[in-house]
Amino acid sequence: MTKVFINGEFINQEDAKVSYEDRGYVFGDGIYEYIRAYDGKLFTVTEHFERFVRSAGELQIDLDYTVEELIDIVRQLLKVNEIKSGGVYIQATRGVAPREHSFPTPEVKPVLMAFAKSYDRPYEDLKNGINAVTVEDIRWLRCDIKSLNLLGNVLAKEYAVKYNASEAIQHRGETVTEGASSNVYAIKDGKIYTHPVNNCILNGITRKVIKWISEDYDLPFIEETFNVEFLKKADEIIISSTSAEVMPVVKLDGETVGDGNIGPVTRKLQEGFDKYIETKSN
Ligand SMILES: *Cc1c(COP(=O)(O)O)cnc(C)c1O
């Protein structure tokens, strides 16, 4: 029986219910994280919950949990569901209150929910690469917050699906920002280019790991904006996320990227990523 976590309890999936007045439901007023488990251990879990706490802070949601308590909850969730390879989704909404845009007064308790699922690493795609399309970035200007408001991301991903692609690479005007649910990198002449961390992108934990790997291997990691034209002329393109890891993009808008093969920088980053799985899971 699958168990989910809601407000302090591990309960059977079918008994897991939330109120129709939950602000996550009516306003998308909340935040989330998605954390990977490899061999029953959590990957970069502290980094994920530090970001969760930051997202909460930016939305002035008072979480009643410390990072240690949150780690303990997701660990227990993996355990009770006997998950080895998989992921944990966790979200907090501002809470339940009569529908009014401004924050509830008096303050209400946030609603914390988490569930875990088992799945394998995307071995086939990591080896062969994926297709991507470009799409205008229509999201709000606080993309640094991992919030439940994902309409721009949802529409971008659906556009990708329509054109037989696995990811939509968004651009704000000509500037490439990030994927619908991933960060984006253009590799040119052995250098890795990616959008700087600011309000226009989500500061990915996998992005952080890629930065560590690039330091380990002395690969230049250049955090500067670039345009769609630069991306289309890249030798290699990758996207990264907790579930996609270091994912090669071999086709962009129907055109072959570079020479169509998985490039040497991508391979190095993938090799480095496997090492971090060993050292950063606990
Ligand atoms: C979660 C997310 C990412 C990837 O972040 P990771 O921490 O690497 O999983 C990138 N972009 C967006 C919009 C996201 O929501």
- To 10 degrees, the CA torsion angle through 123, 126, 131, 136? 110
Q: Whose CA is nearest to atom 5 of ligand 1?
A: 204
Q: Is the CB of 242 under 6 A from ligand 1?
A: yes
CA–CA gap between residue 2 and residue 274 (Å, rounded)? 29
Q: What is the pLDDT of residue 219?
A: 98
Whether 146 is catalytic is yes
**How many angstroms does the Cα of residue 51 sit away from the middle of ligand 1?**
11
> What are the E-state strand segments in the chain?
3-6, 9-12, 30-38, 41-42, 86-93, 111-118, 130-136, 167-172, 175-179, 183-188, 191-194, 221-223, 236-241, 245-252, 255-256
* Mean predicted confidence (pLDDT) in 251-267: 97
* Cα–ligand 1 centroid distance for 98 (angstroms): 31
The whole-angstrom separation of Cα 92 and Cα 258 is: 42
User: Strands 30-38 and 86-93, how do they pair?
Assistant: antiparallel
Evaluate: CB of 194 within 6 angstroms of ligand 1: no
The length of the chain, given as a count of residues: 282
Exactly one of 146, 157, 251, 268 is catalytic; name it. 146
The pLDDT tens digits for 144-162 are 999 999 999 999 999 999 9
**Adjacent-strand bridge partners of 105:** none
Ligand 1 centre distance from Cα of residue 57 (Å): 18
Torsion of CA 261, 214, 234, 161, to 10 degrees: 70
With a 6 Å cutoff on the Cβ, whether 205 touches ligand 1 is: yes
Please give the average per-residue pLDDT across 58-74, as a whole number.
96
CB 42 within 8 A of CB 34: no
Q: Model's pTM, two decimal places?
A: 0.97
Query: If you average pLDDT over residues 196-207, what whole number do you get?
Result: 98
For the chain, the helix, strand and coil percentages under 3-state DSSP, each to the nearest 5: 30, 30, 40
In the Cβ-directed half-sphere of 187, how many Cα atoms lie within 13 Å?
26
pLDDT at 210 over 90: yes
Alpha carbon distance 121, 279 (integer Å)? 17
Select from 182, 200, 210, 238 the residue to mutate for testing ligand 1; criterion: most ligand atoms less than 8 Å from CB: 182
| pLDDT value of residue 260 | 94
| pLDDT grade for 1, boundaries at 50, 70 and 90 | confident
Does the C-beta of 167 come closer than 6 Å to ligand 1?
A: no
Q: Whose CA is nearest to atom 14 of ligand 1?
A: 181
Residue 90 · residue 69 · CB < 8 Å: no
Give nearest CA residue, ligand 1 atom 3. Answer: 182
